[in-house]
């Protein structure tokens, strides 16, 4: 059984590449039972969208 | 590299923004390559010993009670909230350098992990581990700084 930590690994991975069928199913199964991970999954989606909308002016400091 | 320039990820940005992003992208990639050349690159092949992540999970892999993700509400409301962006930037700056750079290339500049790894010369698995850490750190930091601040 996949635990929350492993589930967040898949949530992160799905922002970067399509999950395999097996990964998709095990993530979906975990999310059905876990409210905290469901929120985390939404937060990762939001971070992804925030990155897209971020403006380069603000970002300049981060190049370091 | 030319192929990356033509990447559709810049679609919708103004010419100026595309130009600034282009320069930043090279600066960040150079910094990462230099880091790797100097042997300062940790392999990061697995999930071992990252304090920031260990603080969020129990030994058995479940969330620690105090670290359980809370509801952030409507994303559009967050994006229109100036405090959200201030916290986002502060949390980006708080990330360790390598993690911040890889996250910037991936999420701010829209490069794929395959492109990032090819440019820096690291394994893609390495990128995924770094990005997982980046997202977990950012979500914890933003939740602290934004939700708790907003509710006071």
| CATH number given to B11-150 | 1.10.10.10
Beta carbons of A57 and B139 less than 8 Å apart:
no
For residue A12, list chain B residues with Cβ-Cβ distance below 8 A: 128, 131-132, 135-136
Percent share of chain B, pLDDT over 70: 78
SS3 A53: helix
Interface with chain B: mutation pick from A27, A39, A49, A57, highest number of B CBs within 10 Å: A39
- DSSP readout, B22-78? HHHHHHHHHHHHHHHHTT------SS---HHHHTTB-TTSSBPGGGPPPP---HHHH
pLDDT at B122: 85
The string of pLDDT tens digits covering residues A33-53 is: 999 999 999 999 999 999 988
- B75-80 average pLDDT score: 93
A50: nearest CB among B79, B97, B101 = B79
B32, two tokens:
């990462």
Tokens 């095990």 sit on residue: A26
pLDDT for A16: 97
- Chains A and B form CB pairs within 8 A to the count of 116
Query: What number is the ipTM of this complex?
Result: 0.87
Report how far residue B18's alpha carbon sits from residue B123's, in angstroms, rounded to the nearest whole number.
27
């Amino acid at each position: 059984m996949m635990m929350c930590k492993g589930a967040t690994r898949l949530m992160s991975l799905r922002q970067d590449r399509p999950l395999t069928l097996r990964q998709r199913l095990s993530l979906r199964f975990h999310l059905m039972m876990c409210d905290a991970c469901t929120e985390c999954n939404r937060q990762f989606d939001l971070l992804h969208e925030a990155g897209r909308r971020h403006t380069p002016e603000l970002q300049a400091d981060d190049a370091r | 590299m030319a192929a990356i320039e033509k990447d559709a990820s810049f679609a919708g940005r103004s010419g100026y923004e595309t130009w600034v992003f282009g320069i930043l992208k090279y600066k960040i990639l150079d910094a990462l390559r230099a880091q790797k050349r100097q042997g300062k690159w940790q392999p990061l092949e697995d999930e071992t010993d990252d304090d920031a992540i260990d603080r969020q999970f129990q030994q058995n892999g479940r969330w620690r009670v105090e670290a359980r993700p809370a509801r952030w509400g409507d994303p559009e409301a967050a994006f229109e909230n100036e405090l959200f962006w201030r916290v986002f930037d502060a949390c980006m700056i708080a990330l360790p350098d390598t993690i911040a750079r890889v996250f910037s290339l991936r999420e701010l500049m829209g490069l794929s992990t395959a492109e990032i790894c090819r440019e820096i010369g690291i394994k893609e698995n390495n990128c995924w581990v770094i990005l997982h850490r980046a997202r977990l750190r950012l979500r914890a930091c933003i939740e602290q700084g934004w939700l708790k601040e907003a509710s006071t």
